[in-house]
Structure 1
Amino acid sequence: MAGGGGGGGRPRAVFMAFGTRGDVFPVAALAAAFARDQQQYAVVFITHSAHRSLSAHLAASNVRYMPVSSPPVLAAEQVENISGGSQSNHEDESFSSRKMIIQMEHRKECLSSVEAVFGGDPSINGDFVVINFFALEGWHLAELFQVKCIIAAPYFVPYSAPSSFQRQFKHNFPLLYKYFQEAPANTVCWTDIIHWMWALFTESWGSWRSDCLNLSPIPFTDPVTNLPLWHVREESPLLLYGFSKEIVECPGYWPSSAHACGFWFLPTAWQFSCDKCMELSRNMNSSLGSVLCAKHSSMERFLVGNSYSSGPVFVGLSSIGSMGFLRNPKAFLMVLKAAIESTDYRFILFSSGYQPLDSSIRSIASSVTESSEAAASSLSDDSALLFNGRLFCFSGSIPYSWLFPRCAAAIHHAGSGSTAAALLAGIPQVVCPFLLDQFYWAERLHWLGVAPEPLQRQHLIPDSDDASSIHNAAEVLHGAIKSALLPEIKAQATRISDRLFFEDGIGEALRILKERVLIQDQT
């Protein structure tokens, strides 16, 4: 079977990525590019079943999609728990129990999936596994099936070692610490450990390794003696970052095997929720005109806005809603309404299909006056016009590469994908980070001079919809947009866009991957 397990003597490549759309889809794009370029490989992509929309796109590149049932994001109450919210001990225990059950089943499914690929035949020269930072199961499974493991991440390392990690590691594993400190060049050393591999040594992995995989509980140690594998020195694992060196400085203390390839943008066809729009985009150059079908032509009319001197301001929070941060969608919409009423801005809001937000939008839209009904009747089912026609709401998706150049600025959560798309489009940004690497990107954009200081959460999505909260948030948001549209920020955004224009992040990652995996294995 094409792209299937076993491979029938073909070399096999397993790409494994977990997390939200922004964590997973860029790695899937890399997998598809590799499969098209190296057709002798049987290529598999393992991710959450929630990302099943990838299946057809991957199949078009002869990549087999293998789903696991675990959720890509934590539920609202779980996020609150992690964020330090006030919960009872009973609720904490219940969360821990649910998390443990999900984790055990997830790892069981990961083992089953990888075993389906590598378990039937011995590993051959050229087999490898690619993982993102949320798929560390893949590292241990690569060790089990004795294949090379490569890391591919479209974002900066989303976690750092605890401040006490080095001291505790040296105390608990003095010989292993020496093993890494004295490592020869280009082999796994302490630099790799402290950069990202420290997470492989946590207790939760140890029991799974020994009880389920029959590996030593501690990586790089003998399963019988628990001593370091002094006679074995593994190569420093290849680490491919899907961001640009123009944006992220790669300091000298990073592992030499880490490469910033450029941003990994998705194929255009992957970014349409509408099949007709997708087909239309394949038949014409989007830079010359429309890529939206007749059903969605209202969005194009809104973007043009003949009576306005500038394009609208984009607003999109991607998976932030489904992760539990958007507790009061009505308050969020009221903030945008207040900003509209106090300025001459227009906004285009992408809800990312988050049901509570879509429900609030429909509720407001259903109360439009008769004078607005004509405009509303021309909209598709996934669109709505609010607040005197100055807020266009869309629950689907279209390529940012087409949309952003038609916008004056972008307000978003500082996710890696939204950040990259706005940088390439050369538009100012207003960012409101919520978790993990989003805080890094938010500060970086401000430092680069393409965004004002990041917003605090309550200044975009206040929990309360009382008049004072809405007014205060809208005032701060208005000030941030005004700052973002200053000539110097707009000029800097254009300069950075010019530097990114000729980069090919997927192509560079593919080149390095082939150089390190294919060429080495053929010698």
Structure 2
Amino acid sequence: MSSKRVRILAMGTRDDVQPYLSLATHLKQEGFPVSVGTTNDLRSFVESYDLRCVTTGRPLQEVVRELMQREGRQNARRVFFQALLDTAYQLSENTDVLVYSSATTLAAPHIAEKLQVPAIPALTQPYLTPTDAFPAQGMPALPLGPGYNTFSYSLLDSLSWFFTRSLINKWRRKSLGLRAYRGARTPFVGQRQSGAPILYGFSPLVVPAHWEENVHVTGYWFQPAPQNWQPSRELEQFLEQGPPVLIHPGSMPPTSIRRIVRSFTEALQKSGIRAILIQNGVFPAEELPENVLVSEPVPYEWLLPRVSAAVHYAGSYISGACLRHGVPSLTIPYRVDQPFWAARIAALGAGMEPLSYRKLDAQTLMTALETLRTDQALKQRAVEVSKQLQQEEGAAAAARLIGAYLKQL
């Protein structure tokens, strides 16, 4: 057993944190004392996998609300980043190794410098490491060839540092007791060149690309449902009537919530399609028809083999889970990396072309749902992709890479 204490810094939604629980489980099996640092609202979720959880006293959302009340909504972006930086630091104390997620890339290299510990990026989206296969997320897809694609990562990294440098340097001085960062390289370029492996928790089948030598695309990080988890009797009875469609709308853009909810509600009422809708806090259950069961989040590894298709927001984790289980997808991406994953599902032939949430209406959704349920070629291709992904053991591979690197130190 290794004496090096590993802290996995994973923040965000349940779906954002889920893959890191698989990585933590495999690191634990490799003999590392491992803990997961996340926000307080996810403590019971982490502990249900028999993992040690380190949390802050209050959920991140509560800290953000308090800061906004004090400093005003016009400073919302700065307030959010300030809360993220402070929370990440609190979650990183008392560890020997920091393994960090996409959501904490702004903070983690500086925290590792303060704590004098190695930092290992473990990311679930292709983020900031250059490739000539496609441009960086958030950069336009221009017909300028591989050279532009590679350059776009340096440009995005430089722009990100330009807009966050003042805030981060103030935080370094005030909270970390460090001097302002004035290196010739941006902090993440420094991380890329540190010699630590950069781990990607998705499949090379889904994202085929050439990467720098220390970048490892391990395969997705999945694991079974917690041993003590049991579905509700209501959910079991609903599934006994036949495989429904899974609908997971995710965190919808605030300005479009009413229209999206209305489109889904009307489409489900008129079509009569049986569906399980994962509640995201905005769907009024009393307005949904009897053919729809509203459910709290359910482990995908248990649920997806029991559904016929899925409509979702194309986050990294749910996209990979649907691909792994051969479930054809209809995606409605909103932001950040979601359009990327939606496009990859369609390119693989395991899902339909994405729908634009800006143009979504009930009729468009009804037509797409009917195609999703009846297109046999789509289902067959989803199964073919699934067979290949089932052979990957991404979390185990990532844990071994971390172990091998730490042995060299």
Query: 1:143 aligned to 2:44?
Result: no
Report how far residue 220 of structure 1 moved: 3.8
CA contact (8 A) 1:191 1:255 kept: no
CA contact (8 A) 2:327 2:383 kept: yes
Q: Among 350, 355, 364, which residue is 1:450 paired with? A: 350
Q: TM-score, normalised by structure 2?
A: 0.80
CA contact (8 A) 1:426 1:495 kept: yes
CA distance in 2 between counterparts of 1:514 and 1:137 reads 23
Report how far residue 479 of structure 1 moved: 2.2
Query: 1:155 aligned to 2:130?
Result: no
Query: 1:117 aligned to 2:94?
Result: yes
Equivalence for 1:31: 24
Report how far residue 350 of structure 1 moved: 1.8
Equivalence for 1:107: 85
Query: 1:429 aligned to 2:329?
Result: yes
Q: Which amino acid aligns with 1:303?
A: L
Report how far residue 346 of structure 1 moved: 2.1
Equivalence for 1:5: none
User: Measured at CA, do residues 146 and 200 of structure 1 come closer, stay the same or move farther in structure 2, by a change above 3 Å?
Assistant: farther
Equivalence for 1:494: 383
Q: Which amino acid aligns with 1:69?
A: R
Q: Among 40, 47, 50, which residue is 2:41 paired with? A: 50
Q: TM-score, normalised by structure 1?
A: 0.64
Report how far residue 150 of structure 1 moved: 0.8
User: Measured at CA, do residues 162 and 498 of structure 1 come closer, stay the same or move farther in structure 2, by a change above 3 Å?
Assistant: closer
1:464-475 map, 5 Å: 473-475=361-363
C-alpha offsets along residues 44-83 of structure 1, whole Å, 9 cap, x if unaligned?
322222222235236x24x34232635369999xxxxxxx
- Number of residue-to-residue matches in the alignment: 382
Q: Which amino acid aligns with 2:100?
A: I
Query: 1:95 aligned to 2:73?
Result: yes
Q: Which amino acid aligns with 1:134?
A: A
CA contact (8 A) 1:33 1:506 kept: yes
User: Measured at CA, do residues 486 and 18 of structure 1 come closer, stay the same or move farther in structure 2, by a change above 3 Å?
Assistant: same
Residue ranges of structure 1 left out of the alignment (5+ in a row): 1-8, 77-90, 119-126, 165-189, 223-228, 278-291, 365-385, 461-472
Report how far residue 108 of structure 1 moved: 3.5
Q: Which amino acid aligns with 1:451?
A: G
CA contact (8 A) 1:23 1:153 kept: no
CA distance in 2 between counterparts of 1:73 and 1:155 reads 27
Report how far residue 416 of structure 1 moved: 1.5
Equivalence for 2:145: none
Task: Calculate percent identity across the aligned residue pairs.
Answer: 26
Equivalence for 1:339: 271
The runs of at least 4 aligned residues of structure 1 exceeding 6 Å deviation read 73-76, 161-164
C-alpha offsets along residues 373-402 of structure 1, whole Å, 9 cap, x if unaligned?
xxxxxxxxxxxxx53x422222x2332223
Query: 1:327 aligned to 2:258?
Result: yes
CA contact (8 A) 1:27 1:154 kept: no
CA distance in 2 between counterparts of 1:192 and 1:149 reads 21
CA distance in 2 between counterparts of 1:481 and 1:75 reads 38
CA distance in 1 between counterparts of 2:87 and 2:60 reads 13
Query: 1:303 aligned to 2:204?
Result: no
Equivalence for 1:393: 294
- What SS is found at the alignment partner of 1:52? helix
Q: Which amino acid aligns with 1:117?
A: N
Report how far residue 443 of structure 1 moved: 1.0
CA distance in 1 between counterparts of 2:342 and 2:91 reads 36
Report how far residue 436 of structure 1 moved: 0.8
Q: Which amino acid aligns with 2:405?
A: R
CA distance in 2 between counterparts of 1:402 and 1:422 reads 12
Q: Among 324, 330, 341, which residue is 1:441 paired with? A: 341
CA contact (8 A) 1:20 1:319 kept: no
Query: 1:130 aligned to 2:99?
Result: yes
CA distance in 2 between counterparts of 1:74 and 1:325 reads 25
CA distance in 1 between counterparts of 2:62 and 2:341 reads 20
Report how far residue 13 of structure 1 moved: 1.7
